[in-house]
Amino acid sequence: MNTVERHPRLHPTPEQTALRALVRKALAGGDTGQDRAQARLAREIGAYGLALPERHGGADCTLAEVAVVAGELGRTLTPSPYLGTQLAARALLHAGDEAACARLLPGVAEGRPATLAWAESGSWAPESVTLRARTEGDPHADGAWRLTGVKEHVLDTAAWATPAGGTGGGVGPGGPGSDGADSGPRLGGPDSGGPDSGGAGREGAVLLVLARTDSGLALFEALAAPRAGLPAPMDLSRPLVRLTFEGTPARLVGAAGEGGRVLARTRDDACALLAAEQVGGAERCLELTLEHARVRVQFGRPIGSFQAVKHRLADMYVRLESARSAALAAAGDPERYGALAKAVCSEAYAWIAGETIQLHGGTGFTWEHPAHRYFKRAHGSAQLFGAPAGHRERMLRERLRETLGERPHETLGGSLRAGHGGPLPTHREEHSEPASARA
């Protein structure tokens, strides 16, 4: 029997290069407003429907094309609900609920914001989900389910959540320093919102929620707005929201008990898209630093001519290209390379952003220079969807499962846990030699 070994694509296709140029042009000109950016992506490029099936208004492309857009948004730090919307769309597709896809995805393809709420207690692990869903009557009827619990770190909600008494699109009713305790998203049906509705589709926002049922995890569409808290974020370009569900009516998406499978695939997609975004930000950091090294003169010569500075710039470039390779591999095969890309790109971006501040000297520490914005985004995104160490452990566990069977943690004396997101091993545990190797 012939076997085909999978080789990741480590360079973009000509079509992806052209798409990148188009997105970069659309985001150019210094206009990074949420509504304007979303309108450009939705109207001029059709970026929201790139990976959606044609029957739902999409272009039937792959996740790799979505990653191109994510990379350009990360490069400019444009506040946009794009990442959260794409994850919600991927969850819908993975759930396999054709009725839900036909109802929601055409609006998403037009630019209607959406998001997926799944993190709880600071963890994105499936076993951390405690929000309960209980049914009242026919489980397939609209509003038959009630959601109770709290979701944290919900993506990009400020792009579609309108605070009570506010104008929308802000971090909270009182601006970046407000806690927004009484705010809430506006949810709408398939005919509301869209890029022409004045608020970039806020009225038609889609909120998907992962909840626990008696049959296991399941995906739901919230039919009413939960209570939202918008704490002041470190990264103002990516506010995260806390949603409190108090008997919120919801509609089941897919089958009850299938949420774990949906989340596993969506999490890999999330890691791949976030990795692409991180590479875009790291690339811009290197560009800013190179430009500064050319024009900053010290001792009568540009600082870029000094060997010590050259070495640090070279190290930044090497880490960037390593991260780029990992991100490209993950965009082509998120299930296999998503965890790897999340770990590699998180650490590379954080290090490159730190070097950007250091090599800019005193200028890099000022509020007026964008270096601090990339630094905040780098460290915030490193923790989004789980820390790098947790994803390395997950990747190792999956590779061992392929080699050793379904329970590799028992084969290695229990050093690998079945869950993701629990306490990390100590330094000694991480580097200890397996018992089988010592034997």
- Give me the count of residues in the chain: 439
pLDDT in the model for residue 72: 96
pLDDT in the model for residue 437: 42
The CATH number of 14-257 is 2.40.110.10
Contacting residues for 378 by C-beta, under 8 A, at least 6 apart: 278, 281, 282, 346, 349, 350, 352, 353, 354
Q: Cα dist. 349→180, 343, 378, 390, 409 in Å?
A: 30, 10, 6, 17, 31
For the segment(s) 263-386, the CATH number from 3.40.50.720, 3.30.365.10, 1.10.1040.10, 1.20.140.10 is 1.20.140.10
Q: Is the pLDDT of residue 227 over 50?
A: yes
- The two structure tokens encoding residue 204: 């038609």
By percentage, how much of the chain surpasses pLDDT 90? 58
Q: Is the pLDDT of residue 438 over 80?
A: no
pLDDT in the model for residue 166: 36
The confidence band for 171, taking pLDDT boundaries of 50, 70 and 90, is very low
**What are the extents of the domains in the chain?**
14-257, 263-386, 391-433
pLDDT tens string 196-210: 333 333 456 899 999
Q: Is the pLDDT of residue 422 over 50?
A: no
Three-class secondary structure of residue 138 per DSSP: coil
The rounded distance, in Å, linking the Cα atoms of 109 and 6 is 31
Least confident range of 81-90, 307-316, 398-407? 398-407
The confidence band for 239, taking pLDDT boundaries of 50, 70 and 90, is confident
Mean pLDDT over 28-34 rounds to: 59
The rounded distance, in Å, linking the Cα atoms of 54 and 132 is 35
Mean pLDDT over 75-80 rounds to: 91
pLDDT in the model for residue 180: 41
Cα-based angle 373, 325, 29 (whole degrees, multiple of 5): 40
N-term to C-term CA, the chain? 35
Q: Is the pLDDT of residue 307 over 80?
A: yes
Q: What is the pTM of this model?
A: 0.82
pLDDT tens string 378-400: 999 999 999 999 899 988 888 88
Mean pLDDT over 53-73 rounds to: 95
Q: Give me the sign of the Cα torsion angle 74, 348, 268, 417.
A: negative
pLDDT in the model for residue 376: 95
